[in-house]
């Protein structure tokens, strides 16, 4: 909070009446063929970026683990991803007999189509001249563009959930259920981390958020929200160490276990496009979008923030986040499921809520009162001190002493109608074989007295 208060005096968020200064994203000159060119360019960019991302991930992980990466197909192995795509395209397509055929085929399509929608509202650059027409490097924008991005991400998860359910198999179903719990947990933290950006920028329009970062990028005053978003975006995309829905060690492959050929490739494509999507959102909302970094932005009165130069800065920031994804995958082990849920519900969501309250208080005092920032800091420090003193003075509630058990509690695993594994401090009842072994005499249970006498020569 002190970071926000320190930098608040120089933030260009809003004017005195709460209105945000107008931005340069003007789509009034666009025609149908300009829309078509932009849409096709976005799809081509995403598909080629996925191929590059697969090669990039293999190369970076290979360098981190000191082993050769793809180096056979094409120079530097650049055509390896294309060879893999052709292999999936020509591979035999197997359909599970017991699956729900319609939903089984529809699920990967939902995942891919929803992942392709996000980039429609991502600004890639300022106003440029495209075939003689002045248009922004953005397909479209509207006042709630960020909510549209969150909605596309939420609907895309239905592809994973339905894919796991329609396969009519145990491991895919478990992967789909895990994905549901994961998205609910980490979308809450992700949405709360973005609220502080809306408060300072005064808008949920992506182009206006980029325009509000002319003087300072939001990741500096909103560093806690930025860190929460980075952790949440890894969980949102089912990437290591949060790839619980497709954990190979326990679920074989999760929701993709019963998929092959191009239907599997669609899920694979959706995962990498979602990585590009969340990286583009982080770039737009926290790293200034397409704006050049300091001090390049000051050269020749912002020459590098005009024309097609900003596309280069946007791509550089986007691939920085892609490198973070690969870096985490190559260095962090997979979480246990209880650790994963505890991080989301007990750490990220409470921290995001507290940060949103702090940012709202500071911004509200700046706009709607004449209180000096230094006085505000003293007031907030006093409130925090009172809270600490009160928490120390209230005596802790003493729990009654627990009776020590002589051993673990024996439970019936089928009491609820389905098997439940024992928790810490619990144990399963002995198996019938063990009870029979304990009930037999110390002699060999497989021998009779007559056989024992014959063996010993009696």
Domain map of the chain by residue range?
25-370
pLDDT in tens, 383-442: 778 877 777 777 656 656 665 556 788 888 888 777 777 888 888 887 777 777 777 765
d(CA 222, CA 367): 18
pLDDT in tens, 3-12: 333 333 344 4
Tell me if 103 sits within 8 A of 165, measured CB to CB. yes
Residue 11: the pLDDT is: 43
Residue 220: the pLDDT is: 87
- Helix, strand, or coil (residue 127): strand
Residue 277: the pLDDT is: 93
pLDDT in tens, 63-98: 888 888 888 888 888 888 888 888 888 888 888 888
Tell me if 345 sits within 8 A of 185, measured CB to CB. yes
Chain position carrying tokens 């560093």: 223
What are residue 136's DSSP bridge partners? 127
Phi, psi of 136 (to 5 degrees): -75, 155
Of residues 288 and 253, more confidence is placed in 288
Given a cut of 60, is residue 16 above it in pLDDT? no
291 dihedral zone (left: phi>0; alpha: psi -120 to 50; beta): beta
Given a cut of 80, is residue 382 above it in pLDDT? no
d(CA 122, CA 393): 51
Six-digit token string for 354: 């507290």
Residue 138 Cα distances to 36, 37, 289, 348, angstroms:
12, 11, 12, 32
Q: How much is the average pLDDT of 251-266?
A: 83
pLDDT in tens, 134-189: 888 888 888 899 999 998 888 888 888 888 888 888 888 888 888 888 888 888 89
Average pLDDT, whole number, for the chain?
80
Phi, psi of 135 (to 5 degrees): -150, 150
Residue 280 Cα distances to 200, 289, 322, 352, 449, angstroms:
19, 8, 10, 21, 80
Show Cβ contacts of residue 306 under 8 Å, excluding neighbours closer than 6 positions: 126
d(CA 355, CA 198): 13
Tell me if 85 sits within 8 A of 52, measured CB to CB. no
């Amino acid at each position: 909070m002190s970071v926000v208060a320190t930098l608040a005096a120089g933030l260009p968020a809003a004017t005195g009446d709460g209105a945000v200064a107008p931005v340069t994203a003007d789509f009034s000159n666009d025609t149908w063929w300009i829309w078509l060119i932009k849409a096709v360019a976005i799809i081509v960019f995403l598909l080629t970026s996925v191929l590059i991302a697969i090669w990039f991930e293999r190369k970076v992980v290979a360098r981190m683990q000191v082993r050769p990466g793809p180096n056979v197909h094409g120079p530097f192995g650049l055509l390896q991803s294309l060879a893999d795509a052709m292999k999936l395209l020509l591979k035999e397509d197997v359909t599970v007999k017991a699956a729900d055929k319609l939903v089984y085929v529809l699920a990967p399509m939902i995942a891919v189509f929803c992942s392709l929608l996000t980039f429609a509202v991502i600004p890639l650059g300022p106003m440029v001249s495209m075939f003689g027409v002045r248009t922004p490097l953005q397909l479209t924008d509207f006042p709630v563009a960020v909510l549209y991005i969150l909605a596309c991400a939420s609907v895309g998860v239905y592809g994973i959930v339905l894919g796991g359910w329609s396969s009519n198999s145990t491991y895919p179903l478990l992967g789909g259920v895990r994905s549901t719990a994961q998205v609910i947990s980490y979308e809450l933290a992700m949405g709360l981390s973005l609220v502080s950006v809306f408060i300072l920028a005064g808008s949920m329009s992506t182009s206006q958020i980029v325009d509000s970062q002319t003087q300072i990028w939001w990741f500096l005053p909103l560093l806690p929200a930025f860190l929460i978003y980075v952790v949440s975006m890894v969980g949102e995309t089912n990437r290591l160490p949060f790839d619980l829905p497709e954990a190979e060690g326990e679920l074989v492959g999760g929701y993709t276990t019963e998929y092959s050929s191009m239907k599997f490739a669609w899920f694979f494509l959706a995962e990498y496009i979602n990585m590009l999507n969340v990286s583009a959102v982080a770039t737009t909302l926290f790293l200034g979008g397409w704006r050049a970094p300091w001090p390049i932005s000051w050269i020749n009165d912002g020459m590098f923030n005009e024309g097609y130069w900003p596309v280069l800065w946007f791509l550089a920031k986007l691939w920085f986040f892609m490198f973070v994804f690969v870096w985490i995958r190559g260095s962090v082990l997979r979480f246990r499921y209880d650790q994963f849920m505890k991080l989301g519900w007990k750490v990220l969501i409470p921290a995001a809520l507290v940060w949103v309250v702090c940012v709202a208080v500071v911004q509200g005092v700046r706009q709607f009162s004449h209180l000096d920032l230094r006085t505000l800091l003293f007031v907030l420090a006093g409130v925090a001190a009172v809270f600490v003193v009160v928490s120390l003075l209230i005596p802790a509630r003493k729990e009654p002493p627990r009776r020590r058990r002589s051993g673990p509690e024996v439970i019936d695993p089928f009491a609820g109608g389905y098997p439940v594994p024992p928790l810490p401090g619990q144990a399963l009842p002995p198996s019938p074989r063990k009870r029979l072994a304990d009930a037999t005499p110390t002699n060999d249970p497989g021998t009779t007295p007559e056989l024992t006498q014959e063996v010993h020569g009696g």
